[in-house]
Homo-oligomer: A and B are copies of this chain.
Amino acid sequence: MAVQGEHTDSLFEPGRRSRLLQLLRTYTDTHVELTRHLARTLGIHANDAVAIAEILWAEATGDPLSPVRLSERIGLASGGTATLLNRLETAGFVVRSREDTDRRIVRLRLTPQARSRTEDFFLPTGEHLNNTLDGYDDATLEHMEHLLTEIVAVTAARNEQLRADLKPASSGRQGT
């Protein structure tokens, strides 16, 4: 018998802000579905496709993922990530290379075939999106970039906070 129950409506209040947030939500759904289609196209599991996309992007930015960092992004435990990587390596999508000075670290790279198939998959959408963005002037895009950056920061901060609840107290060290 909760008498109150109106404050939470702010999430769904009509208005421009709420509409924007819903658009972001919808975009996420859409992007996730696109990744599922990638999985189907490559003949692999949904999570494997997520991993491939992450590996591809990280590699493109010049800082290839390690298994631990991949596991953080796709939300799998260490063992599950190892299984996933074995699967992808056996299927010829991924190679592991120890190229770091720290000999413990493994770097994940796509095979040329995997990269080209994945890029071919994303390319039409990418070009279509680029064309769409061409319809906007530079100032608008800059605003958009700024806004999105802030939005990501807010959400990421919340994630960080929630992640902190996970590890109660490992070592005595508890930094900032």
CB–CB B150/A116 < 8 A: no
How distant is the Cα of A23 from the Cα of B19 in the complex, in angstroms?
19
Q: Is the CB of A16 within 8 A of B143?
A: no
Q: How far is the CB of A114 from chain B (nearest CB, A)?
A: 13
Interface pairs (22), CB distance under 8 Å: A2-B116, A8-B116, A8-B120, A10-B127, A11-B60, A17-B133, A19-B145, A20-B148, A23-B145, A24-B148, A25-B57, A27-B27, A29-B54, A30-B159, A32-B75, A41-B162, A46-B75, A125-B155, A129-B151, A133-B147, A140-B140, A144-B147
CB pair B23 A148 closer than 8 Å = yes
Q: Find out whether the CB atom of B27 lies under 8 angstroms from the CB atom of A130.
A: no
Q: Does A63 lie at the interface of the complex (its beta carbon under 8 Å from any beta carbon of B)?
A: no
